Amino acid sequence: MTSPVSLPQTVSLAVAAIPEGLPIVVTVTLALGVLRMSKRKAIVKKLHSVETLGSVSVICSDKTGTLTTNQMTVTQIFTIDDGLKTVQSLTEPNMHMLKISDVILKTLEIANLCVNAYRNQDGTNVGTSTEVALLNVLTILGVEDCRPLFNRKSETPFTSEAKYSSVVGSFKTTDSRPSNAPLSPRSSRSTQSMITDPDTHYLIGAPEVVLSRCKFYLKSDSVTTSLDEDGARAKITQQAEKMAKSGLRVLAMAYGFDSNNMIFTGLQGMTDPPRKGVSAAIASLQKGGVHVVMITGDSEFTATAISRELGILTNSGISSCLTGQEIDRLTPRQLIDRVKGTSVFARVTPRHKMSIIEAFQSTGSVVAMTGDGVNDAPALRMADIGISMGKGATDVAKEAADLILVDDNFSTILPAIEEGKTIFYNIQNFLAFQLSTAVAALSLITISTILGLPAPLNAMQILFINILMDGPPSQSLGVDPVNKEVMKRKPRSKHSAVLTIRLLYRIGFSAIMIIGGTLFIYLFDLKGPEVGQRDQTVTFTSFVFLDLISAIQNRGLNVDLFPRTLKHQIQGFIQYKIPAFFSRASRKIYHPISRTTSSHHHLVNRDERLVKTHNPILLITVLVSFLSLLMIIYLPVLQKIFQTQALDQRDLVLLLALGSVSFACHEIRRYFERLIEKNENDSLLNLNF
């Protein structure tokens, strides 16, 4: 009896046992994921971030410009004497006929003086969305910009910490316009000689901040009255809360000669509609176990109203809302306990964002944070995934981020996470295929050696198997398309391993199918103590054949082997075409079937617009590998190299039967895996609700 395993076979086996193509496949898979994300308007700056995206369990998102359109429009104006006035859109033709009181004009004037937005050559107001809205409302109400008549001496810009902005200066007034009189409509603006007013402070900001500096309020007869009389202060606060609860961003205006002893004039409420598709994206993320958190500088009432409209909050009240002041009063341990049940953070600053991220990370969550300002950079770096906006973000924020949203849209995060999850599971799929092939090859040689049987494979055949393991079939598993079902899987733990218990079971199952089938063929065909070319050829063919079936069956659980359109065409042929063929003699029967068939084609065309859920590259690579196997068996030149010989019809039938059994066993395994996954997803969905 010859030696069971020769030196060339040992070397070949050692080469085949090491998945040296694994780093290449992983890198290519990640790179292709980056390319796919870029086509979906998400630019990944760091390759490792692609895989991390799949494990994100908390998304902390800014409200303005990310969850909303960042297109502010002033819709309501409130003063003590006038009450609440509703402002229509820019397209309303008769809006200039609205009666504007002196107090409303003064409220508009203060906002006008405090903004830095300007009108460009195209006649469009340019600046921050809030400032543009405050300028646009002047056009709506037929009031002109008064800043050319104002000498600005100093300015305090708005910050998220201070929550107000102010200017100090004086008007150049005519002798017909009293000092600090309310702004006039453009129809009554005088062009007489100018004189200079005394310097006055003009303040705009959050209602609670502005009211804290006010002692009086302006009445319609230009008389100032104490805020403490007739419950005026409480009335203003209640009105601000009421406007905020309807989802408006509310700003208060005041003026005076003393910055701490000012005169309140009124409130302006502006709406910022949610972005299209954001609610659906949030719902999909929540179903997948992702905790979506909204962070904003707006009041808790505005934040709660918007978050409920977006589906972030489903309960009534603001019990799931935490403000920046409350965060300052909490200890780190208390904050960790609070963030678990908190979905909205209001009146926060960039400093608070870092505390929020740290608290979530302390719970074991993988945190993604969005930001666009210079002050957001530390929070973006601290988060596991920093997400910056592409249009409105500063260069500092973009540099600190790992992911850039080209369209500034929160909905773009959903496909990015889908890609991240898909890439991770694709890595698991080709890893399962590679390891099961290596385990099968090693086990086959080991078992034959222990049993004292001749080596079932020669060195060249083992090397060909290695090419299959590290070659096209393996790499094609890394490009399985994104399937929407992947978002139903809960996020992975940041400490979870790639090789899970379930994956090891799959590797073991695939290896057993290859080993069992190959040994069966080998022992069934072995007639004597020596192994001939035909014996090795049958054994080699069965191993490769079963390995290719393993490649097909290690694709994603929800990835179809064939296009769905092909499935529908086959089903349509069976359900409609065949009955139509046998019923052509009767038009009464045929015509309804024709209409049904047309309806079926409509369904097929509609299905073609669905996301692709099959992997044509896998089918192509498996087919090419199978054709290569046939060439090795039947081409004389390759027969000499691989020491094979042509197989007869009986051998092919036996191999086909063996492959069918293996395919069926894998399908049963996939069925139970899908069943387990569905139960896990259902339990996750019930937990979320």
CATH number at residue 387: 3.40.50.1000
> What is the β-pairing status of strands 291-295 and 344-346?
parallel
Which own/partner contact pairs does 575-581 have at CB distance under 8 Å and 24+ positions apart?
A: 575/600, 576/600
Picking from 408, 425, 460, the residue at the C-terminal end of a domain is 408
Torsion of CA 680, 684, 686, 688, to 10 degrees: 180
Whether 467 is covered by a domain: the verdict is yes
pLDDT category, 107, cuts 50, 70, 90? very high
- Predicted confidence at residue 3, as pLDDT, reads 47
Is residue 311 within 8 A of residue 279, CB to CB? The reply is yes
Tokens of 480: 């399985």
- Give the whole-angstrom CA distance, residue 55 versus residue 421: 7
Count other C-beta atoms under 10 Å from residue 113's C-beta. 25
E-strand ranges in 562-675 read none
Whether 572 is covered by a domain: the verdict is no
Is residue 212 within 8 A of residue 189, CB to CB? The reply is no
Which CATH number do you get for residue 91?
Answer: 3.40.1110.10
**Does pLDDT of 236 surpass 90?**
yes
**Of the spans 32-36, 474-478, 502-506, which averages the highest pLDDT?**
502-506
pLDDT per residue as tens digits for the range 414-446? 999 998 888 888 889 989 998 999 899 888 888
Q: CA-CA distances (angstroms) from residue 139 to 135, 556, 653? A: 7, 57, 83
Same domain, 520 and 656: yes
Count of structural domains within the chain: 3
Find the mean pLDDT for residues 239-256. Answer: 95
pLDDT category, 557, cuts 50, 70, 90? confident
The proportion of the chain whose per-residue pLDDT surpasses 70, expressed as a percent, equals 82
pLDDT per residue as tens digits for the range 129-179? 999 999 999 988 888 899 999 999 999 999 888 999 999 999 876 544 444
What is the sign, positive or negative, of the torsion defined by CA atoms of 619, 622, 625, 627?
Answer: negative
What is the separation, in whole angstroms, between the first and last Cα of the chain?
A: 69
Same domain, 434 and 474: yes
**Does pLDDT of 527 surpass 80?**
no
Same domain, 24 and 63: no
Find the mean pLDDT for residues 221-233. Answer: 88
Whether 587 is covered by a domain: the verdict is no
Same domain, 493 and 632: yes
Is residue 357 within 8 A of residue 382, CB to CB? The reply is yes
Same domain, 630 and 644: yes
Same domain, 494 and 636: yes
The proportion of the chain whose per-residue pLDDT surpasses 90, expressed as a percent, equals 46
Picking from 271, 288, 321, the residue at the C-terminal end of a domain is 271
Of 8-17, 472-481, 555-564, 595-604, which gets the smallest average pLDDT?
595-604
Same domain, 444 and 398: no
Whether 571 is covered by a domain: the verdict is no
- Predicted confidence at residue 575, as pLDDT, reads 55
Same domain, 164 and 221: yes
pLDDT per residue as tens digits for the range 320-368? 799 999 999 999 999 999 998 899 999 998 889 999 999 999 999 999 9
Same domain, 228 and 318: no
pLDDT category, 459, cuts 50, 70, 90? confident
- Predicted confidence at residue 179, as pLDDT, reads 45
Q: Rg of the chain over CA atoms, in angstroms?
A: 35
Residue corresponding to tokens 């319609």: 220
pLDDT per residue as tens digits for the range 608-657? 333 455 788 888 999 999 999 999 999 999 999 999 999 999 999 999 99
pLDDT per residue as tens digits for the range 248-301? 999 999 999 988 899 999 999 999 999 899 999 999 999 888 999 999 999 999
**Of the spans 99-108, 208-217, 482-491, 588-597, which averages the highest pLDDT?**
208-217
- Give the whole-angstrom CA distance, residue 360 versus residue 344: 13
Which CATH number do you get for residue 468?
Answer: 1.20.1110.10
- Give the whole-angstrom CA distance, residue 277 versus residue 284: 11
**Does pLDDT of 6 surpass 70?**
no
E-strand ranges in 330-434 read 344-346, 367-371, 385-389, 403-405
364 exposure class (CB count in 10 Å sphere: 0-12, 13-18, 19+):
exposed
- Give the whole-angstrom CA distance, residue 40 versus residue 55: 19
Catalytic residues: 62
| Closest-CA residue to 248 (of 44, 35, 450, 64) | 64
120 Cα distance to chain centroid: 35
pLDDT category, 524, cuts 50, 70, 90? confident
**Half-sphere exposure of 117 toward its Cβ, with a 13 Å CA cutoff?**
21
Residue corresponding to tokens 């201070």: 162
- Give the whole-angstrom CA distance, residue 146 versus residue 131: 15
Report the amino acid identity of residue 376.
D
The more confident residue out of 536 and 241 is: 241
Is residue 166 within 8 A of residue 114, CB to CB? The reply is yes
Q: CA-CA distances (angstroms) from residue 76 to 250, 251, 376, 401, 582? A: 9, 11, 31, 37, 70
Same domain, 285 and 171: no
Whether 196 is covered by a domain: the verdict is yes
| Closest-CA residue to 383 (of 406, 412, 354) | 354
**Half-sphere exposure of 328 toward its Cβ, with a 13 Å CA cutoff?**
10
**Does pLDDT of 684 surpass 80?**
no
**Of the spans 127-131, 443-447, 570-574, which averages the highest pLDDT?**
127-131
pTM of the model: 0.79
Tokens of 342: 């908190």
221 exposure class (CB count in 10 Å sphere: 0-12, 13-18, 19+):
exposed
Picking from 364, 392, 408, the residue at the C-terminal end of a domain is 408
Same domain, 186 and 244: yes
Count the helix, strand and coil residues of the chain and give each as a percent rounded to the nearest 5: 55, 15, 30
* Residue 621: domain span: 7-41+416-563+612-688
Tokens of 383: 């988060």
Is residue 67 within 8 A of residue 60, CB to CB? The reply is no
Whether 578 is covered by a domain: the verdict is no
Find the mean pLDDT for residues 3-17. Answer: 64
Helices and strands counted in the chain (H then E) = 25, 20
Find the mean pLDDT for residues 474-490. Answer: 82
- Give the whole-angstrom CA distance, residue 679 versus residue 675: 6
- Give the whole-angstrom CA distance, residue 350 versus residue 392: 17
Three-class DSSP category at 597: helix
**Half-sphere exposure of 519 toward its Cβ, with a 13 Å CA cutoff?**
18
Whether 591 is covered by a domain: the verdict is no
| Closest-CA residue to 255 (of 265, 246, 247, 245) | 265
Same domain, 303 and 377: yes
Whether 600 is covered by a domain: the verdict is no
- Predicted confidence at residue 54, as pLDDT, reads 87
Find the mean pLDDT for residues 220-227. Answer: 87
Mark out the alpha helices in 451-491 (DSSP H runs): 459-470, 472-476
